[in-house]
Amino acid sequence: KRGLAGGNTNYATGGLNASETSVQQKLGIQDSNEQYFEDTMKGGKNINDAALVRNMVNLSAETVDWLISLGADLTDVGKMAGSTNPRTHRPKGGGAVGGHLVDVLKKAAEDSGVEIRYDSTVTDLIVKNGGVHGVKVESNGKIYTVKSKAVVIASGGFGANIAMVAQYRPEFKDFGTTNQSGATGDAFTWAKQLDIALTQMEQIQTHPTVVPKKGVMITEAVRGNGAIMVNREGKRFNNEMATRDVLSSAILEQTGKTAFILFDQNVRDSLKAIEGYARNGLLTEGETLTSLAEKLAISQAELENTVKKYNAFQAAGKDEDFGRAASDMTRPIVKAPFYAVEVAPAVHHTMGGIKINTKSEALNNSGAVIPGLFAAGEVTGGI
């Protein structure tokens, strides 16, 4: 639809979750498909389609191997919020995963003879005898058709269409978004003529750590690598590794409805993704905690006390205030300079969408497979 390959994947920073992988094995990481399944069901509050989750989990290791075979670098494995074990695969040094995967997949597609058409908007499906046989396309003001034996809808979600978001979740009507501009939910307008089943459309995920007014997502890998979060009073207010919905709600309860991610030079050195934030001018820096607090206009004494207290919890392996796991407190905050980024929740991931089976075949409202129609990625629901 737009002038480049890849949708929201281009903005994905954290990594690709997978269990029992060859990379985990090389790094000595103990994990299991069963634990990944349980973590994912728990994160979805058990309303997920268990068959789809099981399918994703069981195929995750071979997906990693397949991507590596195409040239992807997934050699670094981190631990993210909601995961019992480290399983988030990403490039060396914790680099951003999304743009890298898009480049790898684009090259593989082109090397295989796939033609990629840009600035081409699909406006409808071609339907004949209840099955799908192609698409209608608009490009440069002209409409043409592409006939095919099957169609795979992989058009992403609707997180950039705030009017549509508000239809399902009115409380998000004034939220920002982390989504690329093309994530407008076009596919859902095609659903009616084929009676395509939609599921869990109201399940819209917010990301808790997005730079206000800029829409830049600060990956949870920053917290996973040791950052804490403080409010305008200079105090921690929640387990920083809580799930996105819990942390989003907690931030909205703070003064100003924003918070600050706080970390030191050791955390910065541990994660390449932070260098991108620095280049974009998103970091507030202080040679001491006192000078950082002054720049943030928060209590210097409270901030120093908060960090001192957290470092004691980290050393003891027990967070007595908010129950952050010892394995999630990877390093103390001790090495100058110190850094902070102001963040707030924004619309991130629309988890509802087209109902599919484990073969990615699209289903109608009677539960029957629609011949010739498949769907994958954020446009689908239930996983």
DSSP 20: S
pLDDT bin (cut points 50, 70, 90) of residue 180 is very high
Side-chain-facing half-sphere of 339: CA atoms under 13 Å: 20
Measure the CA–CA gap between 176 and 213, rounded to whole angstroms: 7
139-167: buried (b, 16+ CB within 10 Å) or exposed (e) per residue? eeeeeeeeeeeebebebbbbbbbbebbbe
Catalytic residue among 244, 268, 279, 331: 244
Dig out the tokens for 82 from the structure: 């909601």
Q: Is the pLDDT of residue 327 over 90?
A: yes
| pTM: predicted TM-score of the whole model, two decimal places | 0.81
Segment (H or E) for 338: strand 338-350
Q: Is the pLDDT of residue 276 over 90?
A: yes
- Looking at residue 214, its pLDDT comes to 87
Give 61's contacts (C-beta < 8 A, 6+ positions apart).
18, 19, 20, 21, 22, 33
Task: Give the pLDDT confidence of 127-164 residue by residue, as tens digits.
Answer: 999 899 999 999 999 999 999 999 999 999 999 999 99
Q: Is the pLDDT of residue 173 over 90?
A: no
Measure the CA–CA gap between 229 and 225, rounded to whole angstroms: 13
117 assigned to active site: no
Measure the CA–CA gap between 255 and 234, rounded to whole angstroms: 11
Measure the CA–CA gap between 270 and 59, rounded to whole angstroms: 30
